[in-house]
């Protein structure tokens, strides 16, 4: 009965229904804000989710690189999949640029500092607690961003992610917790992820690897479990 009532309240919010009053408030989903910021390569569009109690900062940050082409629609779908409510409830900002992750191999030196300049001017965030996350193309971009600006990020999560560059360059990520997840059925990405773990190990870095049973490229994951790991990686 409780679930059915919640569903009806959600589907017909304009109606006043018994059980939909203040004693049974519907959860408020954080709003996705869009900001346009300047960079040396042109303006950037950046999506922002604010923490529920923003005035209590400084706040940790999830810096999220989207899948696919990195369009605004895909930025929002990435946020809706994993990063919409749990991070805000735990006091995080979520910052997600509209960028094709693979292009960061050439543009990270401009794009990442530009976003951090904007963050420093507009957000009350803790620069020592920034987790970098990426999926698919964003997972490739995650490594380009981290290697370009290693001091900006304290932990990395790939959903999935892989690196195909010079393994020696990965030594810049020493000391950072890294968690890579990939679907069991996502065969090419399984190979690439395992090769990335081997490349990290070749420079003395241990990464956590989870191959998700019966899953393919777009992973179905618990936002609570993701945030639990990120909290631990950032020492929260």
From first CA to last CA, the distance across the chain in angstroms is 37
> What does the pLDDT look like over 118-160, one tens digit per residue?
999 999 999 999 999 999 999 999 999 999 999 999 999 999 9
Please say whether the dihedral angle defined by the alpha carbons of residues 121, 80, 226 and 107, taken in this order, is positive or negative.
Answer: negative
CB 155 within 8 A of CB 131: yes
**Of 141 and 15, which is predicted with more confidence?**
141
pLDDT at 5: 32
**Tens digits of per-residue pLDDT, 157-175?**
999 999 989 999 999 999 9
- pLDDT (0 to 100) of residue 56: 85
């Amino acid at each position: 009965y409780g679930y059915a009532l919640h569903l009806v309240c959600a589907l017909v919010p304009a109606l006043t229904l018994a059980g939909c009053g203040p004693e049974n408030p519907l959860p408020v989903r954080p709003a996705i804000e869009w900001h346009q910021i300047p960079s040396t390569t042109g303006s950037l569009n950046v999506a922002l989710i604010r923490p529920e109690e923003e005035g209590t900062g400084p706040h940790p940050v999830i810096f999220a690189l989207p899948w696919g082409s990195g369009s605004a629609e895909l930025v929002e779908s990435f946020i809706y999949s994993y990063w919409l409510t749990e991070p805000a409830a735990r006091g995080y900002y979520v910052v997600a640029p509209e960028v094709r992750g693979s292009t960061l191999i050439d543009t990270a030196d401009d794009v990442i500092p530009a976003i951090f300049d904007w963050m420093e001017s507009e957000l009350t965030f803790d620069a020592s607690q920034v987790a970098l996350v990426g999926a698919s193309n964003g997972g490739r971009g995650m490594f380009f961003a981290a290697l370009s600006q290693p001091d900006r990020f304290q932990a990395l999560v790939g959903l999935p992610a892989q690196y195909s560059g010079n393994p020696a360059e990965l030594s810049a990520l020493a000391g950072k917790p890294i968690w890579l997840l990939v679907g069991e059925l996502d065969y090419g990405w399984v190979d690439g992820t395992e090769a990335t773990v081997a490349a990290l190990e070749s420079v003395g870095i241990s990464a956590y690897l989870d191959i998700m049973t019966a899953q393919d490229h777009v992973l179905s994951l618990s936002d609570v479990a993701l945030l639990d790991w990120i909290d631990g990686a950032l020492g929260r």
